[in-house]
Homo-oligomer: A and B are copies of this chain.
Amino acid sequence: MKLKSLDLKNIKISDEFWSRHVDLVRNVIIPYQWEIMNDRVADAESSHCLENFKIAAGKNSGDFYGAVFQDTDIAKWLEAVGFSLAGNPDEKLEATADEVIDLIADAQCEDGYINTYFTIKEPDKRWSNLCEGHELYTAGHLMEAAAAYYEGTGKRKFLDCMCKFADLICETFGEEEGKIHGYPGHQEVEIGLIKLFRITKERRYLDMAKYFIDIRGVGENYFLKEMKKDGHKRIFPEFADYDTKYSQSHIPVRDQKTAEGHAVRAVYMYCAMADLAYEYQDDSLMEACETLWNNMVSKRMYITGGIGSSGILERFTTDYDLPNEYNYSESCASIGLALFGLRMNQITRDGKYMEEVERALYNTILAGIALDGRSFFYVNPLEVWPDACMPRTSKEHVKPVRQKWFGVACCPPNIARTLASLGQYIYSTQGDTVWVNLFVTSEVQQELESGCIQMKQETRFPNEGKTTIHIENQENVKVSLAVRIPEYAKDPVFYSGSEKIIPDKTEKGYAFFTVDRKEMELTMKFSMEPRLLHANPLVKADTGKVAVMKGPCVYCLEETDNGNNLPGLFLDSGIALKEHFEPDLLGGVTVIRAQGKRLVSDEWKEGELYKECAPKMEDAALTFVPYAYWGNRITGEMLVWVREIL
């Protein structure tokens, strides 16, 4: 049996590190996106998202406006609202969401179909361009939203709408004659169908997801066939010369050995593959998941948990190709990586997956949102030189400043739903065992197999390597507590109260303890001093360089702390790193200092570009701050991989 995340209702986060980010969702992002979707934000592009639904519902007249997947903005908003209401009931917000759901229901066609683009603009073109039309992708996000809203509020209306749509999809697609033997151009509906199945137990939804995964990349490519049909209309110009790897439809999924193509499409597919591998006990699919995971995290992932090395097509490239200043590494892709890792962790109970989930959460995902919650990175470089991030150049996709919410924006609402559902990553349960995956101050009330427990975790992680878990076990259930020991934790020791204790066993990165008392306080302490990381020597972009980490947090140099020309700084790894907590900096962070050298220019005259002369250096102190918080002060250079004095 796989592990399950806690119901978000059962967990309250009150964490020094995370709460301020998580609270932004409720206090800033959900209200702001609501304004955006209503076209009430003066300096943002028009969204037209709600208006599209009103037109599709016949309430307003007018034309569709926006991208073909414009409806997903409402979907992701409702999903975040669902997650948020679970932990923080809010009558007014719920009433607003209910109205939106009524509107979606009104925009639903008789037969269950929902998609405002096709309903308004091309009602007779439904399902005719699976490659680019994003109908199934949009459906998937709506299904995920319906599931979250049902779980957050107990209300079924949205869920029922989406089941009706799912029924239509089941009638439309499949191997039977007369059905469409196609699959989505952007994977996502598989995840949505599986979520519907898990709530409703309707097996056909699961089978439908399996069909989409099983036929993907089998035989003649479906999208290339589509493009050859009479009347085919290109939606996205960049889809000319379509490479089927882009959508992971180049070969059957079980034959895929390397992470290829558009990174978000890839990881969303891997999530569905993991779910299906579990549900069908499908070993070949599980093996494919493991192979793809391993390829991705051991050869194609940035130290920050970013994936997708190419600025063009936001795609994976090749093993060890991890350029730092012109990569894409979309925030959404790291979210997908975390979702995939969580699934793999829950199936295998292996902490190694949580290691990478934690990496993505503490670095790329968190970097995606400004400290004030009002601006966002889509692209997550590891080295930024603002002057060179010019439009219409090789670095045009790299932004040195977080961007406002766009009319069409995938990353901001995706980050919002991730933060709103952070609880699902912190703990898992199975039977009478509770797994503690992440170190986040929080309170839990959870029904286990044999009874209810209350649990409180207290920690100053990631500033300190210590967490204390207090369990109240009034019913005296025989609870097993599995505490993750991260790979970076040095010399972990455990205490029950003040007494050192030894775990019952240590397995796959977790220390197991038996709680056979009404109350127990378990403390894990480990050393989490800042450390210097090197990349595998095959990562060409990083040879001769080091990165600084503390726990799961990658650190970076910023111009505001270190002056300009960061690539002219060299770290001396022979001198110990020093850390201290600065309560007033960036809302309170641990700062790390290193010693090294700075290349000086004083021997270079204006106009000299290349010459014979030994590089001249002077001593320099290097100040590192968490990568997650870069770009929150003055706009300037940023650098993760720092040159090393060899």
Interface residues of A (CB under 8 A from B): 237, 241, 243, 246, 294, 297-299, 301, 303, 309-313, 315, 317-319, 321, 323, 325-327, 385, 387-388, 390-396, 531-541, 543-544, 547, 565-568, 570, 573, 597, 599-601, 604, 606-615, 617, 643-646
Contact = CB atoms under 8 A, between A and B. Distances in A.
Contact of A565 (B309, B538, B565): B538
A568 B539 CA distance: 9
A471 to B, nearest CB: 34
Contacts of A609: 297-299, 301, 303, 535-536, 539
27 contacts: A237-B237, A297-B609, A303-B610, A310-B395, A312-B392, A315-B393, A317-B390, A318-B388, A321-B387, A321-B388, A326-B394, A531-B612, A533-B611, A535-B609, A536-B601, A537-B599, A537-B600, A538-B565, A538-B568, A541-B567, A543-B565, A543-B567, A543-B643, A544-B567, A544-B570, A615-B644, A617-B646
A607 B317 contact: no
Would you list the 4 A-B pairs with minimal beta carbon distance, nearest first?
A310-B393, A540-B567, A298-B607, A321-B388
Contacts of A612: 531-534
A608 B298 contact: yes
Copies of this chain, whole number: 2
Chain B CB count within 10 A is highest, among A243, A392, A617, for A392
A533 B394 contact: no
A385 to B, nearest CB: 6
Contacts of A318: 387-388, 390
A479 to B, nearest CB: 34
Chain B CB count within 10 A is highest, among A534, A539, A608, for A534
Contacts of A547: 610
A328 to B, nearest CB: 8
Nearest to A303: B610
Nearest to A294: B607
A601 B537 contact: yes
Nearest to A261: B392
Contacts of A311: 393-394
Nearest to A487: B611
Nearest to A240: B237
A615 B646 contact: yes
A396 to B, nearest CB: 7
Nearest to A383: B540
A301 B610 CA distance: 10
B537 A604 contact: yes
A392 B533 contact: no
A318 B386 CA distance: 11
Nearest to A644: B615
Nearest to A604: B536
Contacts of A539: 609
A646 B572 CA distance: 11
Contacts of A388: 317-318, 321
A309 B536 contact: no
A611 B394 contact: no
A241 B539 CA distance: 36
Contacts of A317: 388, 390, 393, 395
Contacts of A606: 298
A93 to B, nearest CB: 39
Nearest to A569: B543
Given A387-B318, A544-B643, A565-B540, A534 B611 contact: yes
A536 B315 contact: no
A538 B604 CA distance: 10
A532 B318 CA distance: 33
Nearest to A299: B609
Chain B CB count within 10 A is highest, among A298, A568, A610, A617, for A610
Given A544-B544, A567-B540, A610 B312 contact: no
A403 to B, nearest CB: 17
B534 A610 contact: yes
Contacts of A615: 534, 537, 544, 644, 646
Given A297-B609, A540-B565, 8 more contacts: A243-B392, A321-B387, A326-B326, A534-B615, A537-B568, A537-B601, A540-B566, A543-B568
Nearest to A322: B609
Nearest to A546: B615
A607 B536 CA distance: 9
Nearest to A615: B534
A568 B533 CA distance: 16
A397 to B, nearest CB: 9
Contacts of A394: 309-312, 323, 326-327, 394
A645 B543 CA distance: 12
A381 B190 CA distance: 43
Nearest to A298: B607
